[in-house]
Amino acid sequence: MRTQVAIVGSGPSGLLLGQLLHLSGIDNVIVERVSRDHVLSRVRAGILEEGATDTIRATGAGERMDREGLPHDGFELAFSGRRFRLDLHALTGKRVMVYGQTELTLDLMEAREAAGLETFYAADNVQPHDFDGDNPYLTFSIDGADQRIDGDFIAGCDGHHGVCRKSAPDAAVTVYEKVYPAGWLGILAEVPPVSEELIYAGHPRGFALCSMRSRTRSRYYIQCAVDDRVDNWSDEAFWDELRRRLPPDAAEAVTTGPSFEKSIALLRSSVAEPMRFGRLFLAGDAGHIVPPTGAKGLNLAASDVHYLHEALAEHYAENSDAGLDAYSARALARIWKAERFSWSMTMLLHRFADMGDFDLRVQRAELDYLAGSDHAAAAMAENYVGLPY
């Protein structure tokens, strides 16, 4: 099989890229190592920046997002018994959208299927080849039958543990990484959210987040130990601990119920440089990971895709490689700013075992500064709604 761009991975970054390329008249094929149902079973992010929503609309797959998503003009910070609202729209003129990544993935899958575009699911032994030359190709197998896709370029959208980044020569990649000594225990429950907007809570017992996926479905998190296990937490124990970490009025308003998903995510910051290796380009989690505190993972994937689509469209329309040559630097400039913000918000709201009294007083001073300074609040709001592409 021959195509122009072979995409590895059918998560949001691969699907977004595939749809944008299709609309630009660029042939593409997606190869995914797991089944379609497995892709849709993954529970991920739910906060979209305006840049991401604009990119989604550009694919033609944004109708349900605009109909069912929840625009948010702000969020709350809770600490020391206080609740402080950060008015995103008043400070920046922008807002964010609450719309689950699973729903977005489904919308993009259906758009791809409606366009009749080729996707190979449950592909074994996916491997990119010869991307350092002029004729890259992918090999894989489906039900034991060997397959090969030749293309002009390969887009690695296959996540942090995917094959594309691993295929780059070790000497060509520099990885910058920070692992935080905590995780997030999260649940999904069919209960109304405690608040119309998110509440980020810093507490001596650890961080907590009140979020949602809809007006009837809530997503809650509490900070936990890195070696904790889901089996250690009954629903009742989770709800009790969540309420301990919230201000009294918020705790009283929590509606409890049985969870239908419960998982632990470890906190990590990671960036691989560069994001181009010949004719292989990385996008999304294949190139970087952020802790979920700042809601930047999916949004960075969208900006990577924006830059990569622009570069590929320029290559085919204008026979120019200027955009391809600039892709890694453009993407990384924005990635590092989002990494900085995610790190700073994580350090602001979590209690880690190695924090001393000085660290805790500085943390409290930073929260007080945010609550009392329009300039500090504006800087946080600007980063939260997303820096421009």
pLDDT tens for 57-92 read 999 999 999 999 999 999 999 998 889 999 999 999
Do 339 and 214 lie in a common domain?
A: no
Do 41 and 59 lie in a common domain?
A: yes
How much is the pTM?
0.96
Report yes or no on 80 lying in a domain. Answer: no
Strand order in the sheet with 96-98: 47-48, 96-98, 70-72
Whole-number pLDDT of residue 41: 87
Do 56 and 130 lie in a common domain?
A: yes
Looking at every residue in the chain, the average pLDDT score rounds to 97
147: Cβ contacts below 8 Å, ≥ 6 apart: 1, 120, 123, 139, 140, 141
Whole-number pLDDT of residue 310: 98
Quick check: 44 pLDDT over 80? Answer: no
Give the pair of three-digit tokens for residue 372: 């009392």
Whole-number pLDDT of residue 256: 98
How would residue 42 be classed by pLDDT, with cut points 50, 70 and 90? Answer: confident
Cβ–Cβ under 8 Å, residues 263 and 186: yes
Quick check: 274 pLDDT over 90? Answer: yes
Look up tokens 């896709």; give the residue: 149
pLDDT digits (tens, 9 = 90+) for 313-323: 999 999 999 99
> How many distinct structural domains can be found in the chain?
2
Dist. CA 69–CA 62, nearest whole Å: 10
Q: Positive or negative CA dihedral for 215, 377, 339, 328? A: positive
Do 313 and 278 lie in a common domain?
A: yes
Encode 182-200: b = buried (16+ Cβ within 10 Å), e = exposed.
bbbbbbbbebbbbbebbbb
Closest C-alpha to 343, from 228, 224, 139, 176: 176
Do 169 and 199 lie in a common domain?
A: no
Dist. CA 141–CA 224, nearest whole Å: 40
Type of residue found at 44: R
3-class secondary structure per residue, 9-76: CCCHHHHHHHHHHHHCCCCEEEECCCCHHHHHHCCCCCEECHHHHHHHHHCCCCHHHHHHCEEECEEE
Do 114 and 223 lie in a common domain?
A: no
Whole-number pLDDT of residue 257: 98
Whole-number pLDDT of residue 46: 87
Do 53 and 130 lie in a common domain?
A: yes
- Give the structural domain span for 153: 5-70+97-177+268-346
> In this structure, what CATH number is given to the domain that contains residue 366?
3.30.9.10
Report yes or no on 84 lying in a domain. Answer: no
Cα distances from 346 to residues 38, 189, 221, 342, 363, in angstroms, run 30, 24, 14, 6, 11
Whole-number pLDDT of residue 200: 98
Give the pair of three-digit tokens for residue 222: 């509490």
Do 103 and 59 lie in a common domain?
A: yes
pLDDT digits (tens, 9 = 90+) for 105-114: 999 999 999 9
More confidently predicted of 44 and 361: 361
> In this structure, what CATH number is given to the domain that contains residue 109?
3.50.50.60
Percent of the chain with pLDDT over 90: 98
Do 125 and 204 lie in a common domain?
A: no
Do 32 and 103 lie in a common domain?
A: yes
- Residues annotated as catalytic are 72, 200, 292, 296, 384
DSSP state letter for 254? P
